[in-house]
Structure 1
Amino acid sequence: MRTIKIGTRSSKLALWQANTVAKQLEHFGYKTEIVKIDSVGDIVLDRPLYELGITGVFTKNLDIALLNGKIDIAVHSFKDVPTNLPQGIVQAAVIKRGDFNDILVIKEDENFFTNETATIATGSLRRKAQWLYRYPHHKITGLRGNVITRLQKLEDNDWDGAIFAAAGLKRVDLLPKKEKYLKLDWMVPAPAQGAVMVAALEKDQELLEICKEINHEETATCVKIEREFLQVLEGGCTAPIGALATLKDEIIKFKGVLFSPDGKHKIEFFKEVEANNVSDLGAFGANYILERGGKKLMREMINIEKDINIYATKNLSLEQVNALSSHIGSSMSDFITIRSNRLKPKIVKSSIENVVFTSQNGVEAVLENFSPTDLDFKNIYCVGRRTKRLIEKRIGKVTQVENSAESLANYLVQQLPNKSVTFFCGNKRRDELPSILKKNNIEVNEVECYQTQLTPRKIEDKYNAILFFSPTGIESFIKENKIKDIAVFCIGETTANEAKKYFKNVIVSKLSTVESMISSVNEYFKEKEN
Structure 2
Amino acid sequence: MGKVIRIGTRESQLAVWQATKVQQLLLQNNFPSELVFIKSEGDIDLQTPLYEMGVQGIFTKSLDIALLHNKIDIAVHSMKDVPTQMAKGIVQAAVLERASYKDLLVYKGQWSMVNGEWTMPDKNELNIATSSTRRKAQWLNKFPLHQIHNLRGNVNTRLIKLQEENWDAAIFAAAGLERINLRPQNSIELDWMLPAPAQGAIMVVCREADDFCLDACNNFNHTDTAICTKIERDFLRQLLGGCSTPISALTTVKDNELIFKGNILSVDGKEKVTVEKTVFINESNDLGKIAATWLLQNGGQKIADRIRNGTK
What is the TM-score when the length of structure 1 is the normalising length? 0.53
Structure 2 CA distance, aligned partners of 1:233 and 1:195?
Answer: 21
Cα deviation per residue 1:7-27 (whole Å; 9 max; x = unaligned)? 111111110000000101111
Cα deviation per residue 1:245-300 (whole Å; 9 max; x = unaligned)? 01121211100100111111110010111111112000011111111121111222
Structure 2 CA distance, aligned partners of 1:136 and 1:223?
Answer: 30
Over the residues paired in the alignment, what is the CA RMSD in angstroms?
Answer: 1.7
Q: Secondary structure at the residue paired with 2:145?
A: coil
Structure 2 CA distance, aligned partners of 1:66 and 1:220?
Answer: 22
The corresponding residue for 1:487 is none
Q: 1:85 to 1:67 in 2, by over 3 A?
A: same
The corresponding residue for 1:27 is 28
The corresponding residue for 1:239 is 245
The corresponding residue for 1:69 is 70
Structure 2 CA distance, aligned partners of 1:140 and 1:38?
Answer: 28
Gap runs ≥5 in structure 1 = 41-54, 302-317, 319-329, 333-530
Superposition map of 1:181-200 within 5 A: 181-200=187-206
Q: 1:210 to 1:182 in 2, by over 3 A?
A: same
Letter in 1 for 2:66: A
Matched, 1:141 2:142: no
CA contact (8 A) 1:260 1:297 kept: yes
* Alpha-carbon shift at residue 98 of structure 1 (Å): 0.8
Superposition map of 1:50-61 within 5 A: 56-61=57-62
Structure 1 CA distance, aligned partners of 2:211 and 2:144?
Answer: 52
* Alpha-carbon shift at residue 228 of structure 1 (Å): 0.1
Superposition map of 1:73-222 within 5 A: 73-111=74-112, 112-114=119-121, 115-177=123-185, 180-222=186-228
CA contact (8 A) 2:80 2:243 kept: no
* Alpha-carbon shift at residue 56 of structure 1 (Å): 2.3
Structure 1 CA distance, aligned partners of 2:225 and 2:110?
Answer: 35
CA contact (8 A) 1:4 1:33 kept: yes
The corresponding residue for 1:410 is none
CA contact (8 A) 2:257 2:281 kept: yes
Q: Secondary structure at the residue paired with 1:238?
A: coil
Superposition map of 1:41-52 within 5 A: none
| Structure 1, 131-140 or 222-231: larger mean CA deviation | 131-140
Letter in 2 for 1:116: N
CA contact (8 A) 1:17 1:196 kept: yes
Superposition map of 1:361-510 within 5 A: none
CA contact (8 A) 1:235 1:241 kept: no
Matched, 1:275 2:275: no
The corresponding residue for 1:287 is 293
* Alpha-carbon shift at residue 331 of structure 1 (Å): 5.3
Matched, 1:226 2:208: no
The corresponding residue for 1:265 is 271
Q: Secondary structure at the residue paired with 1:109?
A: coil
Q: Secondary structure at the residue paired with 2:120?
A: helix
Cα deviation per residue 1:497-524 (whole Å; 9 max; x = unaligned)? xxxxxxxxxxxxxxxxxxxxxxxxxxxx
Cα deviation per residue 1:185-239 (whole Å; 9 max; x = unaligned)? 1100000001110001111112212211110001000000000000000152332
Q: 1:134 to 1:63 in 2, by over 3 A?
A: same
CA contact (8 A) 1:239 1:298 kept: no
Q: Secondary structure at the residue paired with 2:84?
A: coil
Structure 1 CA distance, aligned partners of 2:154 and 2:23?
Answer: 23
Structure 1 CA distance, aligned partners of 2:7 and 2:267?
Answer: 37
The corresponding residue for 2:44 is none
Letter in 2 for 1:229: F
Larger-gyration structure (1/2): 1
Q: Secondary structure at the residue paired with 2:219?
A: helix
Q: 1:127 to 1:69 in 2, by over 3 A?
A: same
What count of residue pairs does the alignment treat as equivalent? Answer: 289
Cα deviation per residue 1:411-457 (whole Å; 9 max; x = unaligned)? xxxxxxxxxxxxxxxxxxxxxxxxxxxxxxxxxxxxxxxxxxxxxxx
CA contact (8 A) 2:40 2:58 kept: no
Matched, 1:299 2:300: no
What is the TM-score when the length of structure 2 is the normalising length? 0.89
